[in-house]
Each structure stands twice: as structure tokens, then as C-alpha cells.
Amino acid sequence: MEKERMRTAGRALRDDDLDLCGAEGGGRAPDMPYLAAGDSFAFQCAGCGGCCRGREDLVLSGYDLYRLSRRLGLPPRITARAFCRSHIGAVSRLPVLRLAPVKTEGNNCPFLSGGRCAVHEARPLACALYPLGQEISRDGTVRYYFQKTSCGGKAFRATLADYLAAQGVAERESCDVLWATRCMELEQQAPGWEAALGPVILRRFQAKLADALYYRFDTVRPWAEQFCENLAWLAGERARLEAMQQTLLSKK
């Protein structure tokens, strides 16, 4: 995988370079064709693990964190504490979680072990997709595109539909669509809560946001229904905190 796509102007990525949609400058480039279900594509991979090394850009969805937590047998908050770092997205204004690169190992992914992925069956969407990319629009339309690689090794050829099925992407697509579309809705609401809440209560609400998006999940229960419950809970928390803010202002 071309590492230049993980860097911005040759420097290490900063939090502000990454948002829920991925790295600044990432996404589909004009030379990356969209694929229909029956379209085939070819690439080569030597299985060297190079695309897991020097990684600073692996943004997780709430569903990614849930799957990793279920695989590790840990609550999502503990998984995040152990393997992730978080910030507020510069554009989305939503909490952004990414896998914390291991600085003492050349910024490798924390799950790279002995040249292999220690969480292969629960690897994040971006890893399962590669060399494909995914776009989800506000109305939930999903499109996939092919990112050319410069790798050598064993040649693979597949149709889009077969590749998505083989990598476990097809079976998780409905959860990824739910995540993306709800996050886009929240992103549109963000200016409203940022205007309504002062700095202290805003930080409390941002913690609630992180709970709703990432942490308030029981890995024994299905993710999607909990996500919908969390969003309803979050709406109540927002109303409660906005009322608290109004009370504080009225006492000044």
C-alpha cells in the first residue's frame, strides 16, 4: 500500500488530519474506478504485512470497535484505552477513534504480531476492504472503487461481489451504512450543540457522544439495535444538558 497516502506533505499525521471519513487527501482519486457487483479487478499481494506497518490513519467506526472488543473479550471502552487514541474531528465535530500506532515499532498497527494480523477475523473495515475503497452517501447508497497498488506477489482476480463476500464486507455492509448515515446526520447537528453549550458542558456532551458512538455497547447483544438505542439516549442527554446550560446562564 502506498504509504504516501498515509502522510500529509511528508510529515506524520496529526489528529486534525483525520476525521471519521479517513485521512485528509484520502478517499477516491480520479484514477480509481467505481466497480459494479459483476466487475472484476486484479491485484497482487505478497502477504508481507507492509500495509500494517507505519500506520497512523486507521480510523475505527463504532462497529469496528465493537467487533474488535468482541474478538478480544473486552468492553469497548477498555479496548479503546488499550489500543486507540481519540480526538474531536476538525470537520465532523464528532469523536474520532483511531488505532494507536506503536511508536517503539515504527508506528506499526498495534495488532500486527509476527508479521500477521492478530485480529484478522475482526479487522477494521478499511483493512478488510483493501485494495478497495468504499463510499456511502447520505441516502445510504454504497459504492466501491479500486485503488491501484504497486505491490508484487501472488496475483488475485475477483469480481466485486465475490471479493466483498470473501472478506466479510458484504455481511457487515448494513451496519456500516447505519454508522455512516447516522454520523452524517450528527455532523449536521453539531453546529447547533456547539452554539448552545458552553465549554464545560460541551465537553460533557462530547463524552456522551463518544459513549453513544463507541462505548455504550454490550458485545453479547447485536450492535445495530444498541446503536439506535444509543442515539435515542443521546438525544435525551443533549436536551438535558442544554436545559442545564440554560439554567446556568439564567443564574448569571
Q: Which residues lie near ligand SF4 (CB under 6 A)?
A: 1, 45-52, 55, 58, 109, 111-112, 117, 119, 123-124, 127, 149, 151, 153
Nearer to ligand SF4 by Cβ, of 123 and 216: the residue is: 123
- Give the count of beta carbons closer than 10 Å to the beta carbon of residue 233: 15
* Shortest distance in whole angstroms from residue 219 CB to ligand SF4: 17
> Are 156 and 44 a contacting pair, CB within 8 Å?
yes
Q: Provide CB contacts within 8 A for 163, sequence distance 6+.
A: 41, 132, 169
**Calpha distance 24→91 (Å, rounded):** 11
> Are 33 and 48 a contacting pair, CB within 8 Å?
no
Nearer to ligand SF4 by Cβ, of 76 and 124: the residue is: 124
> Are 51 and 174 a contacting pair, CB within 8 Å?
no
Nearer to ligand SF4 by Cβ, of 163 and 193: the residue is: 163
Nearer to ligand SF4 by Cβ, of 56 and 211: the residue is: 56
Nearer to ligand SF4 by Cβ, of 44 and 246: the residue is: 44
**Calpha distance 138→181 (Å, rounded):** 6
* Shortest distance in whole angstroms from residue 70 CB to ligand SF4: 14
- Burial tier of 217 (Cβ tally within 10 Å: 0-12, 13-18, 19+): buried
Three-state DSSP class for residue 26? coil
Nearer to ligand SF4 by Cβ, of 149 and 181: the residue is: 149
* Shortest distance in whole angstroms from residue 76 CB to ligand SF4: 16
* Shortest distance in whole angstroms from residue 120 CB to ligand SF4: 6
* Shortest distance in whole angstroms from residue 192 CB to ligand SF4: 35
Give ∠ CA 213-219-225 in degrees, rounded to 5.
60
* Shortest distance in whole angstroms from residue 154 CB to ligand SF4: 9
